[in-house]
Each structure stands twice: as structure tokens, then as C-alpha cells.
Amino acid sequence: MTGTDTGVGKTCIAAALLHGFAASGLSCVGMKPVAAGCDWRDGVAYWGDVEQLIAASSVQADPAWVNPYRFEPPIAPHLAAAQAGVTIQLDKIVAACRALQAQADVVVVEGAGGWLVPLNAQHSMADLASQLGLPVILVVGMRLGCINHALLTAAAIQQSGVPLAGWVANQIMPDMPAFDANLVAIQTHIAAPLLGVQPWFATPDQNNVVLHLNLDAVLNC
């Protein structure tokens, strides 16, 4: 699971997919290889996106597999890692994912930021996706500028040689002008199926979000 940017609803869509898979009888688990940015609750660090994926999973796996790397500052992963004196190792993430795959029918892996966000001096999220060998779902944050962001990201995914399984249009701007026209423009130029159109929700709920996703199409990716 990748997105056109940070804050476009990757975690919300990923958790809804997990919720839907679990409801259909599949064992499933979410994975957030790298999380950057936490809240503090009673003096305890809390990574909301990680916890949301865990709550939506039907398999309660080792937290070190679900989230191999977590950092406090809400900045790019390679910068957060450098501040912590850590180098993000792709081999460690791949091994954790393989362990999760042995425990569940479906593993939903949510990336950090966008497709080309660096993880270390040599590798990006695109390199991780390539090593994992999983089909990619692109979440497009539907707002002004989304056509360019969507087409650039889709092109980059396809150039990486990783399968673009499909994309989800997530209306993150409630009063977006020409929403339908933007949707058609993206759909016309991306050679991958549209897996769902998420209307804007003031407070997204997995039960509502999953209704707008084509779970069968996702499973057949």
C-alpha cells in the first residue's frame, strides 16, 4: 500500500481492507515496516497508524514483525533513523514480512509517505516493495493537484517493475471542485483497475470505508 503523498489515507484504507478480509473469514495481519511520528499518552509513546493496523488484524503477531522500525519525530524515515543513529535494513523488513506471511492468509503492508521516500542512503520504499515482491495498491488523495501526483506515482511504480494492482480514490478534500472529472481523468490515464472510491468522511470508520472497496478485486490482484 502506497500513496501519492503522506496523509492521503493509506492507514485508513489498509485497516478497512484488513477489516473486510477478517469479516470474510480470512486470517490477516497488517504491517507497517517503518513508522515515523508518535503521540504521547500518559508518558507512553503511541504510533497511531501501527495501532490501527494491529486493531484491524485478525492475527495478533509479534510487534517486532508488524513494525520493525519506529521513530519519534514525524519526519522522513531516513532522517528519523539518522537522528536515532539507526540504519534501516531492508533484509530485516523482508524477513519480518515473510514471518507474517507464514501466519496469515493475507498480509497488508503499508508504506511510509510516498513511493520514492528514502529509507537509507541507497534504498527507497520502491526498493523495499521490489524486494517484498508484492502487488501495489496506490491510494490517491483526491484534492487539487491529484492528477499529476497520481500519474507520476503510477508511472514510477510501473517503471520499477512492481505490479500496480490497482488504485483507490480517497476524497480527502470535502469540497473538491470537479471531483468526478478529476476521477475520470485519472482513471483514463492509469492502466490499472479502480478498486474503490472513498467519499469524504468527517470521522472515517472501517465499517463505512470497507463498503466502498472491491475486496474481491483486491484479492484477485
User: What residues contact residue 158 under an 8 Å CB cut-off, 6+ apart?
Assistant: 164, 191
Residue type, 106: V
Cβ atoms of residues 80 and 36 within 8 Å: yes
Degrees to nearest 5, angle at CA 172 with 110 and 202: 105
Using CB atoms within 10 A of its CB, is residue 102 exposed (0-12), middle (13-18) or buried (19+)? Answer: exposed
Instruction: Cell 529509507: give the residue.
Output: 119
What are 73's three cell numbers?
Answer: 519525530
> Quick check: helix, strand or coil at residue 9?
coil
Cβ atoms of residues 31 and 122 within 8 Å: no
* Residues with a known catalytic role: 32
User: What residues contact residue 160 under an 8 Å CB cut-off, 6+ apart?
Assistant: 115, 126, 129, 130
CA dist list (Å): 84 to 43, 69, 73, 87, 146: 19, 11, 10, 9, 33
Quickly list H helices, 86-124. Answer: 90-101
